[in-house]
A and B are shown apart, each in its own frame.
Chain A
């Protein structure tokens, strides 16, 4: 369903030269920068002390610049980790500006508080807050303060396009256009209303006059900031909604793209690291006799929680590290085993009974409804810990000298990374320059600061630039994991099979808060509870966060209800969604695309699942072949309503990659602990989906509401696992209540 025919040539990314990459990390000067405030009547005096740290800094978001050659640069306050966000955000800005796409350049915003993504703070603090105008001076201002204070220059939560793009990049583009037109109107002495912009030109149709943006850029910067720049309605979109080619394809194809791991500095040395296998333990002693005499070795550091070997080359550092025998302190975590952990979940859930735990949502009276139900259904599901396994292993380069520090990495929240480095050293954030590069995969892993802190500590000890690279083993064993979890359900059906009560209790709730809830299903009584069962392992957000497990739990259980009611999974969900037009349209589209009613060959099965998350409604149908020794996922049909797909090709690509990532977890993903340490270490025991295992994917997009955009990076993932396991049930009658599938015996 992706429209590749309209694909246009990609704009070039503003080139970070090698020098710029290792240099100052600020927007290159020279060009005219049009400052565009997202908050027009900005109480600058009040906010400046909080957010404008440096001399001469003003509280404006400078997101558009125009240079003398009429090149428009969109400055993007998010990071690129393969999700294509640079292109979509530039499309939004350039469309509102009526810029010539072939002359649009893209620059990643520096790690500076001015580029903070304050919408993230807004949504996280008050997700249900409805603000009528796109510009909310008061609300926005408050959140800008908070977000800045929290160092939230974050790329996450499938948020960039629907948040920053919709509320900031479009506004910035529209405002810049109005300012350019106002400047041209003064210069030509005509009413602004007679002017329009097209292809980076200002046109006066009456006199047939035209001139490039560049001619007015300087005067435009002097204009007052428009109070309410007028945004286009969809019929006037020129770039939004089109499959513009991604700007980063050429450099990622020819190998010139620079990732964090490519940082290169004169005199730079390399560090290999090994952390205590049990998180929380410290290195009590290390035998370095062999390592000391190995080629290239410069320093061996016992950092307490980890050992680092610094050498001329990375291979040398890693080899020397491999010869070090270390003894670690005993910790409480040492006794933890995976089976015991699941047993602990079970006993905690048993103890909670019908009333224990923290209530997350409650409606009606589940106890009574369940007691009176004609049919009662109960089930328990389990999922393991999951690692992120980014293609680029964790790494960070740091150089500490003269009370200042430079840090190079690829991080999802550059300002947080900068602050982490500053706090590590006990210096001011102003004394830290953070240089961000492309991320070779993020998925939430690169929102953690552990690698930044480790590299900064090593660099402080050496005083020369050091590039720390984790081995794949460290990457797998020292992750911040998607939690392992157990979830139990009880539901009551009336005599017609309609669900009348829905109770759920599960271990952990991380985020988003709505992940375990099902407000879109018509069930009169529900009660959803959680219980935290802490372990010493570190939890971290993993693509789609809690939706990753709750999507599987909920949609498996709904399928069990359908079966108990003697109904088909698609028809049953239709009833549950009755009255919700947008939801139904998505479900229907997935069913229609898959030919839901058409017979499949013997031993094959179809399964459906439906999960709205991060503002996007998604339904998936999986076709699975169960005739072999293990399940073969043949095809996935995805129907999705993100409100409006700004770049349909990019959106479809995110659905496809969510399926690759989600199928990896469904088939194989399992991190387990033994004696407190993670048992898996590399791709042989933590496999990633192979290309021959990738199902065919068909994506159908519904643009259901152009005013409310949804995310793209994550929502494709949650329905995948249950669509697959429901298909397995359809084919074999075997219900999978524990992932991954590699543990299940289908013989």
Chain B
């Protein structure tokens, strides 16, 4: 809905020069993680066999990729879409400073025992109706256990 007078001169130049125009540059760096058409590894299916604590933590670290868009586990780390989860195990819900929690979580009265974390991560909206954690639920029990172990371990550092 607007005028293109301005476009006039430059386009004319482009048009006249078009015969010899070079194509735009391709990527300077192209990281192909996976080819199109190949399936993403179904991580839900590969529940870790939690033999040792170390491998449980390692599996939890990998599984935490589901959360990483919204959470960090880092002393003094920034809040993202969700709060920093450093030291969350045993902590009262909605107590990370500077994060704007939902009323639902603030008034939930929950203390994040491992069992409470497990039920929240399994289905946040079911455990705390009205929570603003809209994604990231983990259905696999083993993976939840691993994630909680990882968070606890990362908080000990």
Contact of A444 among B1, B23, B29 (CB under 8 A): B1
Given the known interface contacts A156-B2, A298-B36, the answer about A303 and B69 at a Cβ–Cβ threshold of 8 Å is no
A541 near B6: Cβ-Cβ < 8 Å = yes
Given the known interface contacts A290-B68, A423-B23, the answer about A150 and B8 at a Cβ–Cβ threshold of 8 Å is yes
A297 near B2: Cβ-Cβ < 8 Å = no
Let me know if B52 is at the binding interface, CB within 8 A: no
B11 near A447: Cβ-Cβ < 8 Å = no
**Which A residues touch B14, using CB under 8 A?**
423
A426 near B5: Cβ-Cβ < 8 Å = no
Given the known interface contacts A444-B1, A541-B3, A545-B3, the answer about A298 and B32 at a Cβ–Cβ threshold of 8 Å is yes
Q: Mark A543-562, 1 if CB is under 8 A from B, else 0.
A: 11100000000000000000
B27 near A443: Cβ-Cβ < 8 Å = no
Question: A555 vs B30: C-alpha distance in the bound complex, in angstroms?
Answer: 54
A302 near B5: Cβ-Cβ < 8 Å = no
Question: A301 vs B32: C-alpha distance in the bound complex, in angstroms?
Answer: 8
A303 near B27: Cβ-Cβ < 8 Å = yes
**Which A residues touch B6, using CB under 8 A?**
510-511, 539, 541, 545
Let me know if B22 is at the binding interface, CB within 8 A: yes
Question: A302 vs B27: C-alpha distance in the bound complex, in angstroms?
Answer: 5
Let me know if A234 is at the binding interface, CB within 8 A: no
Question: A539 vs B3: C-alpha distance in the bound complex, in angstroms?
Answer: 13
**Which B residues touch A298, using CB under 8 A?**
32-36
**Which A residues touch B35, using CB under 8 A?**
298
Contact of A157 among B4, B31, B65, B66 (CB under 8 A): B4
Given the known interface contacts A426-B22, A453-B24, A461-B27, the answer about A295 and B65 at a Cβ–Cβ threshold of 8 Å is yes
A511 near B68: Cβ-Cβ < 8 Å = no
A416 near B2: Cβ-Cβ < 8 Å = no
Question: A158 vs B3: C-alpha distance in the bound complex, in angstroms?
Answer: 7
Let me know if A460 is at the binding interface, CB within 8 A: yes
B2 near A543: Cβ-Cβ < 8 Å = yes
Contact-size category for B: 35 or more
Let me know if B37 is at the binding interface, CB within 8 A: yes
Q: Which residue of A lies closest to B8 (CB)?
A: A124
B5 near A294: Cβ-Cβ < 8 Å = no
Contact of A295 among B1, B15, B30, B40 (CB under 8 A): B40
Q: Which residue of B lies closest to A160 (CB)?
A: B1
Q: Which residue of A lies closest to B69 (CB)?
A: A319
Let me know if A457 is at the binding interface, CB within 8 A: yes
Contact-size category for A: 35 or more
Question: A544 vs B5: C-alpha distance in the bound complex, in angstroms?
Answer: 12
- CB-CB contacts below 8 Å: B1-54 with A: 1-8, 11-12, 14-15, 18, 21-37, 40, 43
Let me know if B62 is at the binding interface, CB within 8 A: yes
A424 near B4: Cβ-Cβ < 8 Å = no
B1 near A299: Cβ-Cβ < 8 Å = no
A424 near B33: Cβ-Cβ < 8 Å = no
Question: A424 vs B11: C-alpha distance in the bound complex, in angstroms?
Answer: 15
A300 near B5: Cβ-Cβ < 8 Å = no
A299 near B69: Cβ-Cβ < 8 Å = no
B11 near A151: Cβ-Cβ < 8 Å = yes
Question: A108 vs B101: C-alpha distance in the bound complex, in angstroms?
Answer: 48
A426 near B2: Cβ-Cβ < 8 Å = no
Q: Mark A144-163, 1 if CB is under 8 A from B, else 0.
A: 00000111101111100000
Majority-rule SS of A interface residues? loop
B28 near A302: Cβ-Cβ < 8 Å = yes
**Which A residues touch B62, using CB under 8 A?**
293
Question: A154 vs B6: C-alpha distance in the bound complex, in angstroms?
Answer: 13
**Which A residues touch B29, using CB under 8 A?**
286, 300-302
**Which B residues touch A150, using CB under 8 A?**
8, 11-12, 15
**Which A residues touch B3, using CB under 8 A?**
156-158, 444, 511-512, 541, 545, 614, 714
Contact of B31 among A267, A300, A456, A542 (CB under 8 A): A300
Q: Which residue of A lies closest to B36 (CB)?
A: A464
Question: A424 vs B22: C-alpha distance in the bound complex, in angstroms?
Answer: 8
**Which B residues touch A323, using CB under 8 A?**
68-69
Q: Mark A240-273, 1 if CB is under 8 A from B, else 0.
A: 0000000000000000000000000001010000
**Which B residues touch A545, using CB under 8 A?**
2-3, 5-6
Q: Which residue of A lies closest to B43 (CB)?
A: A295
Given the known interface contacts A120-B4, A157-B2, the answer about A461 and B30 at a Cβ–Cβ threshold of 8 Å is yes
**Which B residues touch A149, using CB under 8 A?**
12, 15
**Which A residues touch B34, using CB under 8 A?**
297-298
**Which A residues touch B36, using CB under 8 A?**
267, 269, 298, 462, 464
B11 near A416: Cβ-Cβ < 8 Å = yes
A303 near B5: Cβ-Cβ < 8 Å = no
A714 near B12: Cβ-Cβ < 8 Å = no
Question: A303 vs B5: C-alpha distance in the bound complex, in angstroms?
Answer: 31
Question: A269 vs B33: C-alpha distance in the bound complex, in angstroms?
Answer: 14
Q: Mark A506-545, 1 if CB is under 8 A from B, else 0.
A: 0000111100000000000000000000000001011111
- CB-CB contacts below 8 Å: A669-720 with B: 713-714
Contact of B27 among A151, A152, A301, A319 (CB under 8 A): A301
Sample of 19 further A-B pairs with CB below 8 A, known A298-B32, A301-B27, A511-B5: A81-B1, A150-B8, A151-B11, A156-B2, A157-B4, A158-B1, A290-B68, A295-B43, A298-B35, A301-B30, A303-B25, A312-B40, A412-B2, A426-B22, A427-B23, A457-B25, A457-B27, A511-B4, A713-B2
Top 7 A-B pairs, shortest CB-CB distance: A426-B23, A444-B2, A511-B5, A713-B1, A302-B29, A319-B69, A157-B3
Q: What are 22 contact pairs spanning A and B, CB under 8 A?
A: A124-B8, A292-B33, A294-B69, A298-B32, A298-B33, A300-B31, A302-B28, A323-B69, A412-B2, A426-B21, A444-B1, A447-B2, A456-B24, A457-B25, A460-B26, A539-B6, A541-B3, A541-B7, A542-B2, A543-B1, A545-B3, A714-B2
List B residues at the A interface (Cβ < 8 Å): 1-8, 11-12, 14-15, 18, 21-37, 40, 43, 62, 65-66, 68-69
